[in-house]
């Protein structure tokens, strides 16, 4: 199984953390469904060109979180994830992105009122474009 996981050795965070956070995101984001088979430790280590010890740690951490389960002789599989956990992850990711946008605005010396106005304008524009796309699909 191919996984859309990429590591960057130039980043300051450890490789296991990069891999773990991406796999967690794929599971909680719903891209990896319950019961999906994951590559063996050796296969994923070879694919990512990293140590099997690194992947073993990732799998152990995700298993302790209840996101994956390993069956001796059968392999490693995505565990069932509660909808509340998926929602918490989804909203957390959106909050992170918004926080970065606010920080960028503040670094550019925008006032909070300006940032709020920009946000309202973006939402209004998005609603309008979504409504227009919906209207065009029926014509």
CB burial string 82-117: b at 16+ within 10 A, e below:
eeeeeeebeeeeeeeeeeeebeebeeeeeeeeebee
Total structural domains within the chain: 2
Q: pLDDT of the chain along its 139 residues, tens only?
A: 679 999 999 999 999 999 999 999 999 988 999 999 999 999 999 999 999 999 999 999 999 989 999 999 999 999 998 888 888 888 888 898 999 999 999 999 999 999 999 999 999 999 998 888 876 644 4
Give the three-class secondary structure for 105. helix
Query: CB 36: neighbour CB atoms within 10 A?
Result: 15
Residue 71 lies in a domain: yes
Residue 1 lies in a domain: no
Residue 5 lies in a domain: no
């Amino acid at each position: 199984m191919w996984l859309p996981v990429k590591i960057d050795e130039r980043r300051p965070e450890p490789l296991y953390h990069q891999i773990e956070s991406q796999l967690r995101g794929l599971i909680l984001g719903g891209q990896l469904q319950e019961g999906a088979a994951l590559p063996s430790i050796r296969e994923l280590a070879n694919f990512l060109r990293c140590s099997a010890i690194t992947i073993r740690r990732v799998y152990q951490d995700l298993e302790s979180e209840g996101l994956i389960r390993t069956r001796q002789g059968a392999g490693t599989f995505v565990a069932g994830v509660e909808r509340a956990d998926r929602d918490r992850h989804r909203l957390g990711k959106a909050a992170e992105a918004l926080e970065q946008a606010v920080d960028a605005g503040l670094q550019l010396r925008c006032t909070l009122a300006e940032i709020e106005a920009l946000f309202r304008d973006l939402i209004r524009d998005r609603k309008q474009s979504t409504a227009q796309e919906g209207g065009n699909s029926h014509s």
